[in-house]
Each structure stands twice: as structure tokens, then as C-alpha cells.
């Protein structure tokens, strides 16, 4: 008999490792009372026992005008094996001074679209959590996708 799928919390350090490795995530903001979720390039910045998620965007757009409370999410899903993980950071969005000491080098998320990405922001997370879904144990020892 097969085991059931397992959903478990990720340890904090594993959440940070996923954030360190990634470059694209989704930022959730509220505008006019409705949620908006937008893809963004990002960089995890760790310094002085603090963690920030840095992003750049166009001045005046929905992200630049967002309210302070935001959520940021990254994930990886393997639909064939029915497994995956996600990391969620909830925090406060701050505009930052790009001319501050070493800010450009340490905080630049290197957006894929460079033109007009002159608004620099950082999420100061108050919570970083994650979950992993592991599939049930399969009776067949081989991956079914190998035969498709």
C-alpha cells in the first residue's frame, strides 16, 4: 500500500537557501482594495544579521506605488512527480537610496529588463516560511515520465 503525500514546513535555513539560489519571484501588493501578483527579479541580501529582498522597478508603476505591507513568493513544482516547495516572505516594502554606501553592488537584483528600472526597493521581511510537498511512495520504481 502506498503512503500518502506529505506536506511539511521547511526549516528557516532551507527557506533562505532557496531565496539565495533564485532570481525570479512574485510580489503580491494591494491596489484599490484588490490583490495584484507580479513577477519580479530579486536578490536576497544578508548583512549584519538582517535579511532583505531587493527589487528594482519602473518609477510610478504599481510596485513603486504599493502600500507598505507586501508578500513575496518563490517556488518550484515538479508536476510529473507531484512534488514541490514554496517559500513565502511577508514584510514591509521600503524605497531605498541607491546612492547609499555600496548599495548598488550589494542590492542590485540585475533585472532582466534594465530600461527604466530606476526605483529601488527592499522588502524587510517579518516572516519567512516555506512548505514542501513530497509525493506518496510509488509502487513502480521507475519514473512514468521516462516512458512518455
Question: Per-residue confidence at 148, pLDDT binned at 50, 70, 90?
Answer: low
Whether the Cβ atoms of residue 54 and residue 27 lie closer than 8 Å to each other: no
Whether the predicted model's global pTM rises above the 0.75 cut? yes
Mean pLDDT of 26-48: 92
- Of 19 and 147, the structure prediction assigns the larger pLDDT to 19
pLDDT in tens, 38-93: 999 999 999 888 999 999 888 888 888 888 999 999 999 988 878 899 999 999 99
pLDDT in tens, 88-129: 999 999 988 777 766 666 666 666 665 667 778 899 999 999
Using the 8-state DSSP alphabet, how is residue 146 labeled?
A: G
| Burial category of 104 from C-beta neighbours within 10 Å (exposed 0-12, middle 13-18, buried 19 and up) | exposed
Question: Per-residue confidence at 2, pLDDT binned at 50, 70, 90?
Answer: very low
Q: What is the CA radius of gyration of the chain?
A: 18
In this structure, what is the dihedral angle of CA atoms 30, 53, 48, 9, given to the nearest 10 degrees? 90
Does domain 15-135 fall under CATH 3.40.190.10? My reply is no
Amino acid at each position: 500500500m502506498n503512503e500518502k503525500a506529505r506536506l511539511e514546513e521547511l526549516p528557516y535555513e532551507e527557506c533562505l537557501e532557496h531565496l539565495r539560489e533564485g532570481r525570479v519571484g512574485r510580489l503580491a501588493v494591494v491596489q484599490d482594495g484588490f490583490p495584484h501578483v507580479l513577477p519580479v527579479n530579486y536578490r536576497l541580501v544578508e548583512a549584519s544579521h538582517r535579511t532583505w529582498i531587493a527589487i528594482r522597478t519602473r518609477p510610478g508603476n504599481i510596485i513603486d506605488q504599493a502600500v507598505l505591507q507586501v508578500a513575496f513568493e518563490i517556488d518550484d513544482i515538479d508536476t510529473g512527480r507531484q512534488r514541490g516547495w514554496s517559500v513565502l516572505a511577508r514584510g514591509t516594502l521600503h524605497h531605498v537610496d541607491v546612492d547609499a554606501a555600496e548599495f548598488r553592488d550589494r542590492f542590485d537584483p540585475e533585472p532582466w529588463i534594465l530600461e527604466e528600472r530606476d526605483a529601488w526597493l527592499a522588502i524587510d521581511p517579518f516572516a519567512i516560511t516555506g512548505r514542501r510537498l513530497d509525493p506518496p511512495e510509488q509502487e513502480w520504481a521507475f519514473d512514468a515520465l521516462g516512458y512518455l
